[in-house]
Amino acid sequence: MIYKTKGIVLHQIKYQENSIIAYIYTEAFGRQAYLIQGIHNKKSKIKNQLLQPLFLLEMEVFNKETTGLQSIKELRNFPAFSTIPFDISKSTISLFLAEVLYRSLKEEEKNKNLFDFLFNSLQSLDYIQNVKNFHIYFLIKYSKYLGFYPTDNYSTETCFFDLCTGNFTKSPPDNHRYMYAKQSETLHKILNMNQEEVLHLSLHSSTRLYLSKKITDYFAIHLEGFGKINSLDVLEAIFH
C-alpha cells in the first residue's frame, strides 16, 4: 500500500554498486530505512542530491510491517531550503545535528509532536541569520522529547550541573561529569529563554564550545550507543 508522508533525511550509506540505504525520520512511521536502487542512473526518478542531511521531504512510500527495508515511490524536497546548502555556518550546523539525530532517533513509530518540533526547527534554521547558538538551544529542547530535559533547580548554592542526574548540585559530583559553576549558570539562563533570546545571547567562543561538548556528553550518558559525535570538531573549527 502507498502512503504519503513528510520526512527528514538523517543519513545514507552506500549499498552495493549503484544503490543506497537512506535513513529518514518520517511523520507517519517514525525512523525508517529505505532502499533506493539505481540512484546514480540518469533515468532514476530519485536523485542523490534530494537526500542530503536534514533535507525536508514530501514522500510517497510503500510501507510493509514485515520487512526492515522499505521503498519509495516518489519524493521531492519540500519546503526546499534557500540558505542552508549555501551558508557554511548553517550547513555545518545541519551536518552536526544530522549526526546527533541519526544516533538518537531510533523509534519506528509515529511521534507527531517530535516530528513537528524537528521540522519547524529546521525551517527556522533556514531563515534566521544569527545561528551561532542555534544548536545549543536545539539540543536542549530536543532532550525534552527524549526524556532527559534538565531540571532547573539552579541557585547560588546549587550551582553545578550534574550530567548524570540532570539537575544542579551543591558541589561537583565525584564522577567528574558536570559543568563548572559559570557555565552551569549560563545553562540555567538558557533554560529560561526562548529561541530568539538564545540566538542573541552573547557567548564567548570558548563558552559556546564548552556547552556544545558538555551537552553532547549529556546525550551520550543518557542514550545507549550514542557514541562520539565526529562532526563536533568541524563545528568547532567553524565557530571557534
Q: For the segment 126-182, what is each residue's pLDDT rounded down to a tens digit? A: 999 999 999 999 999 999 999 999 999 999 999 999 999 999 999 999 888 999 999
Is the pLDDT confidence value at 40 over 90?
A: no
- Give the pLDDT band of residue 22 (cuts 50, 70, 90): very high
* Tally of CA atoms within 13 A in the half-sphere of 203 that contains its CB: 29
CATH class of the domain defined by 2-77: mainly beta
The rounded distance, in Å, linking the Cα atoms of 146 and 132 is 23
Fold annotation for 84-239: de novo design (two linked rop proteins) (1.20.1440)
Residue 44, pLDDT score: 78
Domain with CATH 2.40.50.140 in the chain: 2-77
| Residues ≥6 apart with Cβ < 8 Å to 2 | 60, 61, 62, 73
Angle between helices 205-222 and 88-104 (to 10 degrees): 20
Is the pLDDT confidence value at 95 over 80?
A: yes
Domain with CATH 1.20.1440.120 in the chain: 84-239
- Give the pLDDT band of residue 7 (cuts 50, 70, 90): very high
The rounded distance, in Å, linking the Cα atoms of 194 and 127 is 17
**Interval 60-77 mean pLDDT:** 88
**Residue 24 parent element (H or E):** strand 19-26
